[in-house]
Amino acid sequence: MKHLTEPLRYCRSLTDIDGDLLRSIGVKTLLVDLDNTLVFWHTSDCLPGASDWLEERRRDGFDVYLFSNAGKKRAESFASEHGIGILPYAGKPWTCLFRNLSKRIRAPKSEWAVIGDQIYTDVLCGNLMGVKTLYVFPYSEREWWWTRFVRRIERFVLKKRGIL
């Protein structure tokens, strides 16, 4: 059985996740993390390529939602600026909002993918919800102190799996 912190795919960056890859795994709805996946930590500044990536996925016909533990104001402002939906305060890795998400998103959950840069929040949450998960390597080392601490464990786990 797959471990709960094991994503379906490891991707070097968000821009490696193109429409072909998503279609090949049967995904139509994207739940995308914010910090260090789309933007530099705790800012609204997009990582290189992230803004175009969002635009392309929308043009490809994917339903894109921001799925972040970030504060409501910053998350809402980012989502509206980029014309994507929002599932504010995701509470990852807990799945207490799952019932709400299921009501909000029409597609069956077999067509959802959580995309994010942390295995103990994004990947774990996606797997607990029983949806597909795509891990992207964090862009920058500038993060909250707690995340930096958890990264040590992540790196150990990723090395053990032969990913790093």
Q: Give the contact letters, 101-130, x = binds to Mg ion (CB under 5 A), - = no.
A: ----------------x-------------
Sign, Cα dihedral of 25, 28, 32, 36: positive
Q: What is the DSSP string of 126-154?
A: HHHHT-EEEEE--S-S---HHHHHHHHHH
38-59 burial, b for 16+ CB within 10 Å, e for fewer?
Answer: bbbbeeeebbeebeebbeebee
Q: How far apart, in whole angstroms, are the C-alpha atoms of residue 15 and residue 1?
A: 29
Question: What minimum distance in Å lies between the beta carbon of 144 and Mg ion?
Answer: 10
x/- mask, Mg ion, residues 19-38, rule CB under 5 A, reads --------------x-xx--
As measured in angstroms, the least distance from the Cβ of 153 to Mg ion is: 15
Q: How far is the CB of 101 from Mg ion (least distance, A)?
A: 18
Of 112 and 135, the one with the shorter C-beta distance to Mg ion is 135
Our finding on whether 143 is near Mg ion (CB under 5 A) is no
Write out the residues near Mg ion by the rule CB under 5 A: 33, 35-36, 117
